[in-house]
């Protein structure tokens, strides 16, 4: 058995390396295309009867994005809304044959966008954390990947300490779950946090957020961040600041991440979230080349 002794939140503990993913560790597939649920559609989806997608139907929408559309990643959005907390259980049991081959956490990725607890009540965050832990148990029972969800997205990220706080709270939740239910450590002992940076001003200074984050992370968790996936908001900045400032801010952020990677040696894999309307980013299947330019 390979073991590693790590220091997390001032506790020392021994864990099985094979069964746990450490936050910021490399060696995983980086997704290329992300989708997310949305209750309204411009037309009736080919797999549904109406334009409106209910909470119950969002699980199928997630599966269709993976299976039919070929997406690598699906953002399950907990921010300011009700979602199905049993999403992993439903995916595994309703589409067992698909996920038996395409394991979540290995070649397909379910990534939670958690609520920003500094902007809205924190009860949804607790539910999201428990969904990660219990979903890991469900995957283990079926012989699937030991960590189907190991990354979360923090919206409205404006400083590094909030990223660290989320990771600390998750770790405490894992420890408490084990103590209360007298179970072994389950799921990723740490989670990666993807900073979703919104607002033109925040995007321009985002390199300083990342620099502070990796410094605080290494001091707090006693190992380095090997990669980071900063999320560039493109739609909301246009709504708040206008289209031209949003474009400049997004390009400025990409330039800042390039400098950050060269300075630190930490690999950067940026994500950009855009809508199909030109004002909100102009990203659609027939406009990819124009969008990239």
Q: Is 222 left (phi over 0), alpha (psi -120 to 50) or beta?
A: left
Look at residues 142, 133, 127 and name the one whose alpha carbon lies nearest to residue 186. 133
Structure-token pair, residue 2: 């390979």
Task: Say if residue 273 is in the same domain as residue 226.
Answer: yes
241 versus 156: the higher-pLDDT residue is 156
Task: Say if residue 211 is in the same domain as residue 267.
Answer: yes
Task: Say if residue 109 is in the same domain as residue 229.
Answer: no
**Lowest mean per-residue pLDDT among 15-24, 135-144, 182-191, 228-237:** 15-24
Residue 182: predicted pLDDT: 67
pLDDT category at 113 given cuts 50, 70, 90 is very high
Residue 115: inside a domain, yes or no?
A: yes
HSE toward the beta carbon, residue 99, CA cutoff 13 A? 25
Contact assessment for residue 171 and residue 9, using Cβ atoms and an 8 Å cutoff: yes
b/e per residue 90-113 (b: at least 16 CB within 10 A):
bbbeebeeebeeebbbeebbbbbb
* Region 155-161 average pLDDT: 95
Residue 190: inside a domain, yes or no?
A: no
Task: Say if residue 46 is in the same domain as residue 171.
Answer: yes
Given a cut of 70, whether residue 228 has pLDDT beyond it is yes
Residue 193: inside a domain, yes or no?
A: no
Task: Say if residue 280 is in the same domain as residue 224.
Answer: yes
Residue 18: inside a domain, yes or no?
A: no
CA dihedral 237, 108, 160, 128 (to 10 degrees): 90
Work out the percent of the chain whose per-residue pLDDT is above 70: 87
Task: Say if residue 279 is in the same domain as residue 175.
Answer: no
- What is the domain extent for residue 256? 198-293
Which tens digit of pLDDT belongs to each residue from 30-79?
999 999 887 556 678 888 888 888 888 999 999 999 999 999 999 999 88
The total number of structural domains in the chain stands at: 2
Residue 39: predicted pLDDT: 57
Task: Say if residue 53 is in the same domain as residue 179.
Answer: yes
Look at residues 134, 139, 113, 92 and name the one whose alpha carbon lies nearest to residue 35. 113
Task: Say if residue 144 is in the same domain as residue 246.
Answer: no
pTM: 0.88
* Region 183-202 average pLDDT: 85
Structure-token pair, residue 289: 């080349």
Task: Say if residue 171 is in the same domain as residue 41.
Answer: yes
Given a cut of 50, whether residue 4 has pLDDT beyond it is no
Which tens digit of pLDDT belongs to each residue from 92-112?
999 999 999 999 999 999 999
* Region 134-146 average pLDDT: 88
Task: Say if residue 97 is in the same domain as residue 173.
Answer: yes
Residue 137: inside a domain, yes or no?
A: yes
Task: Say if residue 175 is in the same domain as residue 79.
Answer: yes
């Amino acid at each position: 058995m390979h073991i590693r002794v790590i220091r997390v939140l001032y506790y020392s503990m021994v864990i099985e390396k094979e069964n746990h993913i450490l936050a910021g560790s490399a060696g995983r597939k980086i997704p290329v295309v992300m989708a997310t649920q949305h209750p309204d559609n411009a037309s009736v989806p080919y797999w549904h009867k109406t334009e409106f997608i209910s909470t119950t139907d969002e699980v199928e929408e997630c599966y269709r994005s993976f299976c039919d559309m070929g997406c690598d990643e699906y953002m399950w959005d907990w921010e300011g809304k009700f979602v199905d907390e049993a999403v992993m259980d439903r995916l595994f049991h309703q589409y067992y044959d698909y996920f038996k081959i395409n394991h979540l956490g290995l070649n397909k990725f379910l990534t939670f966008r958690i609520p920003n607890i500094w902007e809205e009540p924190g009860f949804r965050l607790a539910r999201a954390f428990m969904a990660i832990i219990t979903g890991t148990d469900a995957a283990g029972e079926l012989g699937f990947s030991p960590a189907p969800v190991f990354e979360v997205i923090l919206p409205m990220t404006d400083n590094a300490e909030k990223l660290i706080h989320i990771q600390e709270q998750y770790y405490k939740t894992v420890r408490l779950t084990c103590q209360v239910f007298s179970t072994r450590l389950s799921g990723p002992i740490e989670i990666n946090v993807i900073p979703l940076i919104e607002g033109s001003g925040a995007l321009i200074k985002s390199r300083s957020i990342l620099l502070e984050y990796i410094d605080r992370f290494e001091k707090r968790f006693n190992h380095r961040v090997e990669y980071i996936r900063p999320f560039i908001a493109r739609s909301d900045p246009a709504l708040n600041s206008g289209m031209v400032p949003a474009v400049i801010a997004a390009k400025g952020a990409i330039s800042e991440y390039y400098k950050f990677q060269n300075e630190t040696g930490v690999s950067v894999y940026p994500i950009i979230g855009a809508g199909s309307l030109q004002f909100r980013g102009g990203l659609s299947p027939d406009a990819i080349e124009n969008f990239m330019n």
